[in-house]
Amino acid sequence: NLFLSREWLTTQLGRKHMANALLVERAPAARPLTADALTSALATVCSLEDYGLRLVMQPEQGYLSLHSRAVVLETSEVEVAREAAAECGARSGLTSVYLATSMKNVTDPDRSTEIAYAVVAALDPPPEFRFTSGSEKTIDRESVWLNQWTAQDLGAHVGDRVELSYLIPSRNGTYYTGTEQVTVRGIVEMTGPGADPGLVPDFEGITDAKRIGDWHPPFPLDLTR
């Protein structure tokens, strides 16, 4: 192990006033302190920010999104958020996003331009998209909807097969590439939920960059593509 000044480390990481753990010592003369009692006491003073969470208003689409500093929400956080929404009489939905390192049309490669670094989103339930062609209420794991821009770049039509490549992290910190082929079932208009930037949470090093050349993600990136 390596021991450092906590003040120096949090400054370097840009995480001042944050910690990985909170240690509590009970005075010898104090009454017995249980973990449940301490948890209950902390719950009365902790805010979403203390848990690394924040609510973001998406006014154009009329919804709130819950974001985590860890990017991915824990199962317990999702369950509590959905319970809170139900108590308020609001609907809730789940969104998962991932970055495909490349996409290409394998049905007709001659009319396709390979796309590097495209966001893939899985939505449950899916929003009320408008389609320029094709249309299905739901899609299975071997199907996909493309937005107009992506379909145009890929030269893709409903029924075409598209291949996605993506990085898979390993336990030793390296990455290997996985691939999947899916069938295009619809082309989504770039309006309303089809052009909603709120579907992608803030990701430091990517969403705060003005262009792809300024990306600094925690995974391998080939900016020459």
State which amino acid sits at residue 168: I
Q: Which residues contact 165 (CB under 8 A, 6 or more apart)?
A: 100, 101, 102, 103, 177, 178, 179
pLDDT at 224: 65
Residue closest to 180 by CA, chosen among 109, 117, 103, 114? 103
The 3-state DSSP class for residue 102 equals strand
Query: What is the reported pTM?
Result: 0.75
pLDDT at 113: 80
Question: Do residues 149 and 194 make contact, with C-beta atoms less than 8 angstroms apart?
Answer: no
| Domain ranges, ordered by start, for the chain | 6-92, 95-214
Mean pLDDT value across the chain: 85
pLDDT digits (tens, 9 = 90+) for 88-116: 999 999 989 888 999 999 998 887 788 98
pLDDT at 29 over 70: no
